[in-house]
A and B are shown apart, each in its own frame.
Chain A
Amino acid sequence: MSDTVDVLERARLDTGLTMTELWFRYFAVGGMSTALEIDAYLYGALVATPHNRDLLAVALNERFFELGLDHPVAYSNDREIDGD
């Protein structure tokens, strides 16, 4: 799971989003955790549920997409599907 944490925090740094900004985006797509909990997910102090992790991935991916970078952060149901 520390692998997941690294991916999210590294992605956040790549997008340049602040924690507050990420929380806003996470909240807008339906997230229910507080900004403090988001902080804890990214630093590995709390383990996010797959759904919460997906919400963070969506928030980050939408920012990446604005930057013209497609959707680099995988979603939890991606591994069921093979790349075509």
Chain B
Amino acid sequence: MPRVTTVHSSELAVEVCIDGGRLAVAVRGEIDMESAPLLRTVMRGLIDGGHKTAVLDFENVSFMDAAGIGVIVEAAGRLTAAGGSLAIRSAPPMTLLVLQITRVSELVQFENPDLAVAHAAVDQTVEDAAAMIGREPVAIVSDLVKVGSMVTATALVDRALQLVTVLAKAAIDGADGVSVSLERHERISTVAWSNDTVLQMDLHQYQTGEGPCVDAANTGRGFHIDSLADEDRWPAFVPRAMEEGIASILSTPLTTPARSVGALNIYSNSEGAFGEPQMTLAGLFAEQASGIITASLTDQDAGTRLAQALVDREVIAQAQGVLMGRNHVSAVDAAGQLFSAARAAELTVSQYAANVVASTEPEASGE
């Protein structure tokens, strides 16, 4: 008599079926950064419980990114170590593609009733993916829409960026890890990554507030560290990176037409891994990622930006009022004075206006 248990989150349902000694885990939905922990927890529980072989049924998986790969790698590693194995049943072509690009396919067995058809489909998709390199970002996004199901704009963008990291890692010789850092709501975080080590690397940089990825995102300049052992910038970050086994780094800024918003980070365990060809490719992938981000910003951040613009306007209007009273000038002349004074002080008009407003507050001295 088979025992069936189902656990689920909003994106993912995991159905565990234990029939005698046979364990089958059927997954339905999308395996990404948000939902993967659920599957990971289930797999860990089953393996801890003594199961040595498992079948993961992926027939109803509509999308899987690097986070899902992480779960598979961990489960396959532990089962293999215990003398068992992990099999994947009915993986859709896109999932197979991701497994193949990342070579995870070598760690698992495939149980697929229609393997030949699936392989042909994968070959086709691999070709498509290869062709994506050098194609318009919009085309990648539209391909992803076709492949996975679309949830929200942010999720879609993250997926497109995830695909960029997977493709970049596969295409760039010597790359042991690739990630995308992106500033959202004035905070920088990693929105796509190829494996846990690079995620760890990025976190170190956000924690210490320094590192090539943070600097690339902030300054819009690229950073190439040929050998971490010889690097004297970023003294807090470099030792931690070396502890993780990283020896060289290439961080390329991601930009919108207005400013730099993030970085494409490529890490290698070997010194001197990145030369001219890798830098050219990194530039190409960074361009694609930038395009994806730019396309998304127009809609996504408009609300936030509009809110900020309204705050700035308000401060400027207040400062205008202060100057009108102080200097007995018209509103337009007060604005003109603000503009010239801000330029002379090398501040933005809203920064300068904030100073003017603050100068009228009781705590401010000097009056």
Contact = CB atoms under 8 A, between A and B. Distances in A.
Sorting the interface of chain A by its residue count into under 10, 10 to 19, 20 to 34 or 35 or more gives 20 to 34
B336 interface: yes
Q: Which of B316, B332, B339, B346 has the most CB of A within 10 A?
A: B339
A77 interface: yes
B257 to A, nearest CB: 5
B328 interface: no
Given A20-B298, A54-B336, A30 B313 contact: yes
A35 B332 CA distance: 21
B350 A29 contact: yes
Interface in B302-320: 305-306, 308-309, 312-313, 316-317, 320
Contacts of A50: 332
A2 interface: no
B258 interface: yes
What's the dominant secondary structure at chain B's contact region? helix
B340 A75 contact: yes
B336 A28 contact: no
A37 interface: no
Contacts of A10: none
A75 B350 CA distance: 17
Interface in B332-367: 332, 335-337, 339-340, 342-343, 346, 348-350
Contacts of B257: 16-18, 21
Summarize A's interface: helix, strand, loop or mixed: helix
A78 B344 CA distance: 12
A75 B309 contact: no
Contacts of B313: 27-30
A30 B335 contact: yes
A76 B317 contact: no
Interface in B113-130: none
Given A18-B257, A58-B339, A28 B332 contact: no
B336 A66 contact: no
Given A21-B257, A58-B342, 13 more contacts: A16-B257, A28-B309, A29-B316, A30-B313, A30-B316, A30-B317, A30-B320, A50-B332, A54-B339, A58-B339, A61-B343, A66-B259, A75-B343
